[in-house]
Amino acid sequence: MIRSLGLKALQRMDPEKAHGIALRALRGGLVPAWSGPVPTSLRSRVLGFELTHPVGVAAGFDKNAEAVTPLLDTGFSFVEVGAVTPEPQDGNPRPRMFRLATDRAAINRYGFNNDGMQVIGSRLAARGEGGVVGVNLGANRDSADRAGDYGTVLRHLAPWVDFATVNVSSPNTVGLRDMQAREALEEVLSRTLAVRDEIAPRVKLLLKIAPDLTDAQIEDVAEIALATGIDAIVATNTTLSRQGVRHPARAEAGGLSGAPLMTRSTRILARLAARTEGRITLIGVGGISSGADAYAKIRAGASLVQLYTALAYDGPDLVRIIALDLARLLERDGFTHVSQAVGIDTFRSTAG
């Protein structure tokens, strides 16, 4: 009851302020750890990581690596911090986060606000080891070499992370999504891979894409991912579309996340799975708020899934609820292990 009342109070506040309070509550130990058993059917070995289940927290929730260990203790099997840029930046003017409760959605136009790689690196170093932790790599908006910023951040943070995600898909930095064009994407991935291979071959390199790509662009992404040898694709970031959104705040500029993104992002995920034929790991993010949503992503081709916006509506217990519901759905459909369900809808459809 206390947790429920606290969540309702946060939902009445300015969204960015509420987010800050939630992070402080995590750091202060006010969010209970997940102490119950995790069904063995959910245990996953993905990208070489041993995970108790496939549900992680997406980039954007803990931008500045302030609550990594508490988030792992809450029950997430992996945490992605950031986006992190070489130099600290304030991001866009406030207000820049809008809660669309009637749609269980949010719009943000943060603009890569973060404390910069030096401060965030100090926090990651101070927390010690334990758990699977990644960083979302970003570029400073005023950088003279945005493609090089990704490798700069990776070079600095590599000692303390297990994976790094190249983020060229945020809609809130002018021109950033242009880096998803074929030649630009090949450049940023090849340069970042060169840094990874030089200093930290153990760090897995991921690419996060937008949900607003055309079919031709999805084809390009798949071809480039397979050709460069990156380790995984994260599908997807926030969308510029407002299709099906009813809340008056839909007119605000920025990226839309939450429930309305579920169908769009899952469709992109399935197309990538069909195009890559299981040759690259896929991570599903966008609109997940239930075990059924996570299951749909997995059946479309995701080996792992990530949450963010739904936590603002359902609180940190959601990770446990989703994981246990996912286990029940697997059992219902006769699967003894989550890996058996990965891509089954996509590959069955392709075969048919």
- Tally Cβ neighbours within 10 Å of residue 112: 23
pLDDT at 36: 85
The answer, yes or no, to whether residue 3 has pLDDT greater than 80, is: no
Question: Is residue 122 among the annotated active site residues?
Answer: no
Where does the pLDDT of residue 211 fall: very low under 50, low under 70, confident under 90, or very high at 90 and above? very high
pLDDT in tens, 212-223: 999 999 999 999
Q: How far apart are CA 26 and CA 67, in angstroms?
A: 6
Of the chain, the percentage scoring pLDDT greater than 90 comes to 89
Residue with tokens 């292990």: 337
The answer, yes or no, to whether residue 44 has pLDDT greater than 50, is: yes
pLDDT at 10: 82
pLDDT at 14: 93
The answer, yes or no, to whether residue 5 has pLDDT greater than 70, is: no
Q: Which of 41, 77, 169, 170 is catalytic?
A: 170
* DSSP states along 221-280: HHHHHHHHT-SEEEE---BS--TT--SGGGGSSSEEEEGGGHHHHHHHHHHHHHHHTTSS
pLDDT in tens, 136-192: 999 999 999 999 999 999 999 999 999 999 999 999 898 889 899 999 999 999 999
pLDDT at 352: 54
Where does the pLDDT of residue 348 fall: very low under 50, low under 70, confident under 90, or very high at 90 and above? confident
Provide the mean pLDDT of the chain.
95
pTM above 0.85, yes or no: yes
**CATH class of the domain at 44-351:** alpha beta
The answer, yes or no, to whether residue 18 has pLDDT greater than 90, is: yes
pLDDT in tens, 71-112: 999 999 999 999 999 999 999 999 999 999 999 999 999 999
Q: How far apart are CA 160 and CA 163, in angstroms?
A: 9
pLDDT at 281: 98
pLDDT in tens, 276-330: 999 999 999 999 999 999 999 999 999 999 999 999 999 999 999 999 999 999 9
pLDDT at 263: 97
Where does the pLDDT of residue 1 fall: very low under 50, low under 70, confident under 90, or very high at 90 and above? very low
What are the backbone dihedrals phi and psi of residue 290, each rounded to the nearest 5 degrees, phi first? -155, 170
Q: How far apart are CA 252 and CA 103, in angstroms?
A: 14
Q: What's the chain's Rg over C-alpha atoms?
A: 19
How far from the centroid of its chain's Cα atoms is residue 334's Cα?
Answer: 29
Where does the pLDDT of residue 350 fall: very low under 50, low under 70, confident under 90, or very high at 90 and above? low
Of the chain, the percentage scoring pLDDT greater than 70 comes to 97
